[in-house]
């Protein structure tokens, strides 16, 4: 036990939690804590340029490492700038600990300078939050914050600390135990339920493992692989689960939903037993819910009981930590296979045939570089490497990244799924680099996304956290343009950004990074190669054909099997440029 | 369909706000909500009366169960639980008609707790239905002011099982 002020207690608590890096920006109400940082801590502080960037960095760190990410900001606008990352972490179940300064306790409720009720604003999007009212609460609150962020279904938490309490003295004592009588996430597995699940799966003719992000959060990727291999079960991973199962594995059959390949959606929607593994039947996966996987028996495995039956009735619900649930299921399935329940070889052949029959396709018309080719080239240049981590923004480039990049190693694909936060990619890549300094971190970004958080390139350069940004620059808010083209009679409304302004390579150079411009197909591979090898932060501006749509596509509200395929060269060339 | 939900919570700042936010988020109207201490120090009990489908209720209750300050969520099923409410009502009545009103009050075990020159304040404890009946019978006299606590409830003394836990999967 030692005497110190609240600000020091914050840092001693983070150190006790084993935090090695935090991301933030100082400001008035958090000054005492930054002063404590200046006085010394083993926690590295990465200075972001915008609190949203700091929050996404912490998310990228969390998603790449499996540990909780930490973001630090001041009160008022500092805290509100964290709202988007908190919401993103909420939707994608990312363990995120946000620490914000608050105005002095005597000023709370007076509309003081930079006072905002951040615990109130974030109430619907955090697992829990604390407004510290006594300096003595700080160690317990921070320990509890990390515990809650990481246990059960992962997610964001917030600790709001008034400035005077950061300056108040306390006897620091790191609690051995937490007093959280209401926090009891499931830790055990209901074996009879697992047995029921195993029977349904082992005797299925057309089973599918519909794998969601909970598998990564639950650290259950090895168990998933054992399950797929023991049962010879096909695996389809959602966007959030991309990299949870090796994508070059013979049992991996793509990604479901709005821009998933036709073979994956055929598999999901014609199976007889659908095994949801840490997945939540999101509308982007299911399309029209009533028409999703008709007739399939649903086995739903999740750590969060509130997901069971939320959107689709679960015939066999199993609530528990996925690592344990899957391990138990592996034993049961292996046993049932040994007893003679046949592996679904015919179904696996059917899925493989569909993959052959309905490959991803795109046009080759015109002189402009095709965006899909950028992703194919990036895939070719990184294939087989186990030290590459991808992040993305949100939009067409994200969907192409999902379709064309093959990720074999868990936590090597980090994207904003549920909230769909444009601008997520660059800061998330910086956070991922902090978590995996050995890795080459590549952000596949769009030009629209770049301009939302591109200033964090500075953070990447100055903090020596180099990343490679592969900019799929089509000069448009591409996904919106695609919808306007397809569903709004080609009336392009406020989507044209231009290929040339800003000049992204020059902008990168201005930020101290290396800039490349790729206008023609021949330049693509050398530029990407050099960027990947240079060891510095680099931006490769790939100016691509804005007319390319992302196919296949399930139109909003349509049944998954009513997906639209690439219409072919002829139709494509008729599309008018806006 | 209307449901009465009982929630045991830690007596911590924000606990009530977190719970009511969950209902508001889904557009459920809370008909009544009461909060008060329980037999355990530091534990409060919230009784909510809401109108929603069974499926929606199960969803919101599972979500409530995940709140860190929530200790237990259960539904008070009609017939299996006791439910009571308190009514305070100020009825306009001139002295010459007071006797009539007092007789009425006696039937409902309403207690006159304050008398004025031209009004009486009654307190009534009972089921929601009893309270509403009394309220209606007072109406012709002229209700000057009325307040109700909203219902509270618990399982019967004879109940062999505790109220149905809704977050049952866990």
Q: What was the ipTM of the complex prediction?
A: 0.89
Q: Residue ranges of the domains in chain A?
A: 2-172, 191-357, 371-550
How far is residue A162's CA from residue A30's CA, in Å, rounded to a whole number? 8
Q: What's the CATH architecture for A191-357?
A: 3-Layer(aba) Sandwich (3.40)
pLDDT at position A330, please?
98
Q: Which residues of A touch B21 (CB under 8 A)?
A: 123-124
What's the rounded Cα separation, in Å, for the pair A395 and B105?
69
Nearest CA in chain A to B55: A310
Same fold, A2-172 and A371-550: yes
Residue B164 falls inside a structural domain: no
Domain presence at residue B11: yes
A127 touches chain B (CB under 8 A): yes
Q: Which two tokens stand for residue A301?
A: 């495995």
How many angstroms separate the CA of residue B32 from the nearest CA in chain A? Answer: 21
Is residue B30 a part of any domain in this protein? yes
**End-of-domain residue from the set B16, B43, B75:** B75
- Position B26 scores a pLDDT of 82
Name which residue leads in pLDDT, B169 or A221.
A221
| Domains in chain B, number | 2
CB of A181 within 8 Å of a chain B CB? The answer is yes
Q: What does the pLDDT read at residue B159?
A: 72
Q: Alpha helices of A340-424 — where are they, by DSSP H?
A: 345-357, 371-382, 396-404
CATH of residue B110: 3.30.70.1150
- pLDDT, residue A573, reads 45
pLDDT at A1: 67
A371-550 classified as CATH 3.40.50.970: yes
Domain end point (choices B45, B75, B105): B75
Q: Taking CB atoms and an 8 Å limit, are A181 and B10 in contact across chains? A: yes
pLDDT (0 to 100) of residue B23: 86
Residues 404-443 of A with CB under 8 A from B: none
B112 and B139 co-located in one domain: yes
- Residue B163, domain member (yes or no): no
Q: Is the pLDDT of residue B157 over 90?
A: no
Q: CB B65 to CB A305 under 8 A?
A: yes
**Residue at which a domain ends, from B59, B75, B91:** B75
Rounded to a whole number of angstroms, the distance from the CA of A6 to the nearest CA of chain B is 21
> Which residues, given as ranges, of chain A have pLDDT below 50?
572-578
Considering only alpha carbons, which residue of chain B is nearest residue A126?
B67
Distance from CA of B18 to the nearest CA of A (A): 7
Task: Pick A128's closest partner by Cβ from B68, B167, B169.
Answer: B68
CA A57 to chain centre: 12
Question: Within this chain, do residues B59 and B118 fall inside the same structural domain, yes or no?
Answer: no
* B59 and B96 part of one domain: no
Chain B residues touching residue A133 (CB < 8 angstroms): 13
Pairing of strands A468-473, A538-543: parallel
Residues B118 and B62 in one domain: no
Residue B166 included in any domain: no
pLDDT of B164 over the 90 cut: no
Residues B88, B65 within the same domain: no
Residues B35 and B88 in one domain: no
- Cβ atoms of residues A130 and A159 within 8 Å: yes
Q: Cβ contact (<8 Å) for A304 and B66?
A: yes
Q: Which two tokens stand for residue A392?
A: 């993305």
The stretches of A66-217 forming alpha helices (DSSP H) are 77-80, 83-91, 118-121, 138-150, 163-167, 191-202, 214-217
Measure the CA dihedral B17/B22/B26/B32, to 10°.
-60
Query: What six digits make up the tokens of A31?
Result: 């000054």
Distance in Å, alpha carbon of B62 to nearest chain A alpha carbon: 5
* Burial bucket for residue A81 (CB in 10 Å: 0-12, 13-18, 19+): buried
Q: Domain check: are B90 and B108 in the same one?
A: yes
Strands A207-211 and A169-172: unpaired
Residue numbers of the domain that contains B113: 82-152
Q: Write down the mean pLDDT value for chain B.
A: 90
Write out the two tokens for A99.
């620490």
Does residue A147 belong to the interface with chain B, where contact is any CB pair within 8 Å?
A: no
Taking residues B57-76, report their average pLDDT: 93
Is residue B10 located within the same domain as residue B42? yes
Q: Is residue B65 part of a domain?
A: yes
Topology (CATH level 3) of domain A2-172: Rossmann fold (3.40.50)
Q: CB within 8 A of B60, min separation 6: which ones?
A: B22, B23, B26, B28, B52
Tell me, yes or no, whether B67 and B7 share the same domain.
Answer: yes
Query: How far out from the chain centre does Cα A204 lie?
Result: 31
Q: Which residue in B21, B67, B167 is closest to A305 by CB distance?
A: B167
What residues of B are in the A interface, CB distance below 8 Å? 9-10, 13-14, 17-18, 21, 25, 58-59, 62-63, 65-71, 167, 169-170
Distance CA A380, CA A376 (A): 6
Contact: A120, B10; criterion CB under 8 Å:
no
Q: Do B170 and A305 touch (CB under 8 A)?
A: yes
Contact assessment for residue A449 and residue A497, using Cβ atoms and an 8 Å cutoff: no
Evaluate whether residue B23 is within a structural domain: yes
* Residues B57 and B112 grouped into a single domain: no
pLDDT score recorded for residue B25: 84
CA of A268 vs chain B CAs: smallest distance (Å): 25
pLDDT digits (tens, 9 = 90+) for B95-149: 888 999 999 999 999 999 999 999 999 999 999 999 999 999 999 999 999 999 9
B63, B21: one domain: yes
- The verdict on B66 and B95 lying in the same domain is no
State percent of chain B over pLDDT 70: 94
Q: Is B161 a member of any domain?
A: no
* Straight-line distance from the first to the last Cα atom of chain B, in angstroms, rounded to the nearest whole number: 25
């Amino acid at each position: 036990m030692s005497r110190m002020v609240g600000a020091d207690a914050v840092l001693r608590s983070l150190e006790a939690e084993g935090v090695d890096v935090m991301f933030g920006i100082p400001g008035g109400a958090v000054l005492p804590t930054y002063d404590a940082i200046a006085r010394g801590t083993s926690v590295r502080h990465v200075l972001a340029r915008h609190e949203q960037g700091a929050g996404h960095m912490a998310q990228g760190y969390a998603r790449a490492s499996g540990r909780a990410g930490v973001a630090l900001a001041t009160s008022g606008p500092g805290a509100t700038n964290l709202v988007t990352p908190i919401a993103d972490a909420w939707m994608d179940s990312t363990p995120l600990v946000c620490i914000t300064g608050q105005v002095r306790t005597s000023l709370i409720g007076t509309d003081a300078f930079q006072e905002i009720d951040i615990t109130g604003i974030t109430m619907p999007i955090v697992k829990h939050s604390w407004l510290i009212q006594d300096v003595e609460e700080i160690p317990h609150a921070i320990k509890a914050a990390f515990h809650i962020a990481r246990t059960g279904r992962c997610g964001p938490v917030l600790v709001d600390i008034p400035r005077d309490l950061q300056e108040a003295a306390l006897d620091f004592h790191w609690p051995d135990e937490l007093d959280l009588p209401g926090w009891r996430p499931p830790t055990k597995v209901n074996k009879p339920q697992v047995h029921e699940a195993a029977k349904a799966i082992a005797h299925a003719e057309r089973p599918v493992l519909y794998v969601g992000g909970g598998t990564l959060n639950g650290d259950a990727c090895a168990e998933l692989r054992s399950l797929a291999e023991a049962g010879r079960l096909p695996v389809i991973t959602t966007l959030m689960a991309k990299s949870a199962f090796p994508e070059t594995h013979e049992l991996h059959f793509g990604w479901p939903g709005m821009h998933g390949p036709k073979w994956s959606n055929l598999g999901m929607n014609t199976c007889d037993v659908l095994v949801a593994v840490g997945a939540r039947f999101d509308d982007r996966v299911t399309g029209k819910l009533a028409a999703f996987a008709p007739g399939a028996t649903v086995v739903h495995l999740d750590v969060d009981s509130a997901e069971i039956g939320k959107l689709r009735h679960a015939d066999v619900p199993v609530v528990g930590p996925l690592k344990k649930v899957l391990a138990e299921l592996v034993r049961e399935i292996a046993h049932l296979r040994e007893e003679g329940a046949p592996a679904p070889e015919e179904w696996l052949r059917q899925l493989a045939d569909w993959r052959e029959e309905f490959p991803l396709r795109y046009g080759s018309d015109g002189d402009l570089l095709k965006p899909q080719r950028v992703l194919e080239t990036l895939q070719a240049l990184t294939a087989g490497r186990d030290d590459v981590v991808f992040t993305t923004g949100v939009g067409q480039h994200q969907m192409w990244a999902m379709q064309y990049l093959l990720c074999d190693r868990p936590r090597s694909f980090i994207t904003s799924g549920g909230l769909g936060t444009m601008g997520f990619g660059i800061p998330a890549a910086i956070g991922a680099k902090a978590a995996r300094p050995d890795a080459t971190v590549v952000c596949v970004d769009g030009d629209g996304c770049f301009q939302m958080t591109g200033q964090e390139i500075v953070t990447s350069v100055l903090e020596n956290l180099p990343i490679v940004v592969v900019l799929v620059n089509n000069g448009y808010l591409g996904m919106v343009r695609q919808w306007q083209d397809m569903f709004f009679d080609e009336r392009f409304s406020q989507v044209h950004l231009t290929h040339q302004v800003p000049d992204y390579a020059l902008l990168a150079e201005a930020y101290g990074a290396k800039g490349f411009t790729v206008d023609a197909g021949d330049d693509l591979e050398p530029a990407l190669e050099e960027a990947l090898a240079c060891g510095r932060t680099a931006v490769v501006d790939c100016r691509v054909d804005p007319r390319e749509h992302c196919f296949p596509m399930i139109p909003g509200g349509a049944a998954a099997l009513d997906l639209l395929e690439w219409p072919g060269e002829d139709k494509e060339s008729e599309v008018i440029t806006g | 369909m209307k449901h009465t939900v009982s929630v045991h919570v830690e007596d911590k700042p924000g606990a009530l706000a977190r719970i009511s936010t969950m209902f508001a988020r889904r557009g459920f109207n809370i008909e009544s909500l009461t909060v008060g201490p329980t037999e355990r120090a530091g534990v409060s009990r919230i009784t909510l009366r809401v109108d929603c489908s069974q499926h929606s209720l199960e969803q919101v209750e599972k979500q409530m169960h995940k709140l860190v300050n929530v200790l237990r969520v259960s539904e008070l099923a009609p017939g299996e639980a006791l439910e009571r409410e308190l009514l305070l009502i100020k009825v306009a009545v001139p002295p010459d008609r007071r006797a009539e009103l007092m007789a009425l009050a006696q039937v409902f075990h309403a207690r006159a707790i304050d008398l004025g020159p031209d009004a009486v304040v009654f307190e009534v404890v009972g089921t929601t239905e009893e309270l509403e009946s009394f309220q209606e019978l007072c109406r012709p006299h002229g209700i000057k002011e009325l307040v109700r606590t909203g219902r509270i409830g618990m399982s019967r003394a004879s109940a062999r099982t505790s109220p149905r836990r809704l977050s049952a999967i866990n």
